[in-house]
């Protein structure tokens, strides 16, 4: 595996590739990231991963400075996973000047849920993903990029970006990888104490209960859902969590379900803080 830092080096490394397969990451790689690489490999003729902790997608009080940076271990994991090129730009390589031109995703999608609790988050994500896409794919007839479904709304934002800007990139989603007990794999799980790690399972459990109750109330979902969501949030709060949202939305646009929206069209999504760690998860219904 070749490791490169600048966009010029990356383009040189990919000069013979006609269909790069790309996995963007912020590093601190776990089995979920490596599953994205495994999915990407047969989809293209060169597999590229990036590691870049993107300052633009963190709010000032968030964990940009403390976000785990484990470059040497990540590099070894990517090489063992069969990645061909690791693009690891320094901040000055990707943002040589203040990034005043930004990619603004549709507020109808980007201001909901994660966007409500992390204002500007999806602008930061869309901007860096656009820059990474240009670095990897410029001049290529077609490419493919793989994103995890744990960041469900992020995947929708990226799909919208590619569709509306007519980028020649296929976007593939990968089902959330989970620990044996069901907790979604996340770099931020590393922040949890042993007791918090055991408690963290309550988030996917709460989503499962909410999904079950929503299906049971499918005949009158728009009327019944607010009480079900409030109960799910209260149950987590009673265990010491600070929930931002636990909700059931339509998969198509992440808006609240309308009459007739039922199984196959819905997704339960949650975000909640446990101690100092904010966890997110979702479950397609």
| Catalytic positions | 33
CB 191 within 8 A of CB 202: no
Interface with ligand PAF includes 26 (CB under 6 A)?
yes
Edge-first strand order for the sheet with 242-250 is 242-250, 266-274, 277-284
174 labelled binding-site residue:
no
CB 56 within 8 A of CB 179: no
Considering beta carbons, is residue 188 or 250 the nearer one to ligand PAF? 188
Minimum CB–partner distance for residue 269 and ligand PAF (Å)? 15
DSSP letter assigned to residue 180:
T
29 labelled binding-site residue:
yes
Separation CA 6–CA 238 (nearest Å):
49
150 labelled binding-site residue:
yes
Q: Which stretch binds ligand PAF (CB under 6 A): 8-16, 22-30, 37-45, 173-181?
A: 22-30
Residue with tokens 């976007």, as numbered in its chain: 171
Cα dihedral across residues 15, 17, 18, 19: positive or negative:
negative
151 labelled binding-site residue:
yes
DSSP string, 37-83: HHHHGGGSSEEEEEE---GGGS-TTSSTTTS---HHHHHHHHHHTT-
Interface with ligand PAF includes 151 (CB under 6 A)?
yes
Interface with ligand PAF includes 126 (CB under 6 A)?
no
Considering beta carbons, is residue 81 or 233 the nearer one to ligand PAF? 81
154 labelled binding-site residue:
yes
Interface with ligand PAF includes 83 (CB under 6 A)?
no
Q: Tell me the two tokens of residue 255.
A: 């808006």
Minimum CB–partner distance for residue 129 and ligand PAF (Å)? 6
Considering beta carbons, is residue 54 or 202 the nearer one to ligand PAF? 54
Strand intervals (E) in the chain? 2-4, 20-25, 46-51, 85-87, 143-148, 169-174, 242-250, 266-274, 277-284
Among 10, 20, 24, 40, binds ligand PAF (CB under 6 A): 24
- x/- string (CB under 6 A) for ligand PAF, residues 45-74? ---------x--x-----------------
Interface with ligand PAF includes 25 (CB under 6 A)?
yes
Residue with tokens 């069209």, as numbered in its chain: 265
Residues that bind ligand PAF (CB under 6 A): 24-26, 54, 57, 125, 128-129, 151, 154
Residue positions in the annotated binding site for ATP? Answer: 26-33, 148-151, 185-188
């Amino acid at each position: 595996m070749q490791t490169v830092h600048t966009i010029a080096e990356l383009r040189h490394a990919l000069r013979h590739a006609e269909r790069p397969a790309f996995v963007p990451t912020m590093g601190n790689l776990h089995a979920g990231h490596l599953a994205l690489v495994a999915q990407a490999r047969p989809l293209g003729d060169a597999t590229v991963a990036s590691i870049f902790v993107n300052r633009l997608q963190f709010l000032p009080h968030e964990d940009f400075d403390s976000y785990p940076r484990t470059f040497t271990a990540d590099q070894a994991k990517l090489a063992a996973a069969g990645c061909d090129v690791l693009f690891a730009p320094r901040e000055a390589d990707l943002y040589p000047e203040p990034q005043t031109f930004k990619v603004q995703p549709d507020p109808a999608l980007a201001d909901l849920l994660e966007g409500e609790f992390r204002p500007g988050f999806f602008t930061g994500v869309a901007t860096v993903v656009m820059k990474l896409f240009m670095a990897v794919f410029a001049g290529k007839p077609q490419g493919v990029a793989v994103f995890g479904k744990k960041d469900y709304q992020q995947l929708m934002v990226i799909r919208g970006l590619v569709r509306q800007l007519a980028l020649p990139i296929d976007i593939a989603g990968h089902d959330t990888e989970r620990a044996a007990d069901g907790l979604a794999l996340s770099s931020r799980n590393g922040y949890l104490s042993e007791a918090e790690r055991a408690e963290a399972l309550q988030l996917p459990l709460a989503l499962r209960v909410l999904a079950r109750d929503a299906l049971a109330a499918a005949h009158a979902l728009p009327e019944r859902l607010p009480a079900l969501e409030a109960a799910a949030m209260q149950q987590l709060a009673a265990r010491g969590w600070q929930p931002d949202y636990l909700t059931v939305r339509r998969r198509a646009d992440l808006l609240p379900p309308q009459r007739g929206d039922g199984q196959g069209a819905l997704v339960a999504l949650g975000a909640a803080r446990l101690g100092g760690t904010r966890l997110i998860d979702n479950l397609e219904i």
